[in-house]
């Protein structure tokens, strides 16, 4: 199975209502007067980080990518659970983990550690508290909304390629927690850009039953000469969101398009309809 097929199969299992049909970034659980936002992401050697990567950077990125999902829900972090496979440079991993947890004021609350002979995989579960309800879903975009992006895409790609000024964007991304908390009362849908702007836009439009009409000239990118690469590569962790035309936005952001009624394709880039997600960004399998 590929990733999409496996997730489709998972939807046939008993699901909690808070799972949102496995069509969102996070689960949302209402417990008494609290609304908890929970997410889990994994990283594998050879897929998400090189075999010679600094394990301190890997630990930082593991924390940051999970907190980015909380940011897309406007949540504030409560704590994280770590799933760790022992391997090389565990001490460096712990150093990076300590630095990230302090930087994001997020404590470790538990987890599990194993030894394995196969490829190394790491996992983290992040628990957050909603700062605004209802917690926005990917499915909330409506025709007439604007499509917005908090910052440029493509920096992580350039960092991966070794451009010095963009190394931090790939090795130590910054989850947009403050931006998400500021935006959450004003958005109709929101998610982070992890698998590529085009693919994540396609996913949000598909979940909302609408079409995103994106203006390629309005999309902020790290290298304008490589627009096609920048909007497909991913790992940027900027926030992609939709908002009504009259919504007051409390932060600076880039309007990159408009939500329109569903056409033949969930996504348009200029005049080009994009209906096949396979060519739009990164997917496992």
Q: What is the pTM of this model?
A: 0.94
Decide: 144 and 212 in contact? Cβ < 8 Å.
Answer: no
Which pLDDT value is given to residue 140? 96
Angle at which helix 55-71 crosses helix 90-103, to 10 degrees, equals 30
Question: Would strands 239-243 and 146-149 be described as parallel, antiparallel, or unpaired?
Answer: antiparallel
Both tokens of 31, joined, read 């417990």
Structural domains of the chain, with CATH: 3-130 (3.30.1330.10), 138-279 (3.90.650.10)
Which pLDDT value is given to residue 260? 98
Angle at 44 between CA 64 and CA 81, to 5 degrees: 50
**How long, in residues, is the chain?**
285
Which pLDDT value is given to residue 283? 57
Both tokens of 260, joined, read 């329109």
Q: What Å distances lie between residue 198 and 32, 85, 112, 124, CA to CA?
A: 38, 33, 35, 26
Residue spans of the chain under pLDDT 70: 282-285
Which pLDDT value is given to residue 285? 47
């Amino acid at each position: 199975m590929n990733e999409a097929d496996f997730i489709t199969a998972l939807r046939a299992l008993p699901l909690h209502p808070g799972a949102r049909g496995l069509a969102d970034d996070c689960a949302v659980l209402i417990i008494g007067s609290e609304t908890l936002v929970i997410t889990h992401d994994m990283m594998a050697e050879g897929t998400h980080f090189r075999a010679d990567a600094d394990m301190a950077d890997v630990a930082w990125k593991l924390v940051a990518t999970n907190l980015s999902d909380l940011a897309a829900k406007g949540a504030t972090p409560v704590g994280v659970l770590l799933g760790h496979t022992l391997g090389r440079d565990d001490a460096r991993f712990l150093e990076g983990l300590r630095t990230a947890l302090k930087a994001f004021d997020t404590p470790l609350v538990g987890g599990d550690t194993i030894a394995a002979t196969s490829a190394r995989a790491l996992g983290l579960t992040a628990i957050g508290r909603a700062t605004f309800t209802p917690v926005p879903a990917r499915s909330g975009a409506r025709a007439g909304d604007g499509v917005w992006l908090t910052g440029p895409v493509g920096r992580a790609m350039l960092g991966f390629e070794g451009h010095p000024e963009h190394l931090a964007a790939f090795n130590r991304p910054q989850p947009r927690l403050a931006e998400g908390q500021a935006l959450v009362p004003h958005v109709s849908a929101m998610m982070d850009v992890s698998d590529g702007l085009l693919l994540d836009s396609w996913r949000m439009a598909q979940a909302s039953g609408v079409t995103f009409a994106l203006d390629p000239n309005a999309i902020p990118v790290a290298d304008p000469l490589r627009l096609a690469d920048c909007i497909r590569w991913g790992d940027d962790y900027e926030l992609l969101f939709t908002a009504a035309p009259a919504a007051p936005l409390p932060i600076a952001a880039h309007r990159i398009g408009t939500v329109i009624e569903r056409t033949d394709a969930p996504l348009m880039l200029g005049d080009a309809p994009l209906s096949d997600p396979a060519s739009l960004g990164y997917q496992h399998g």
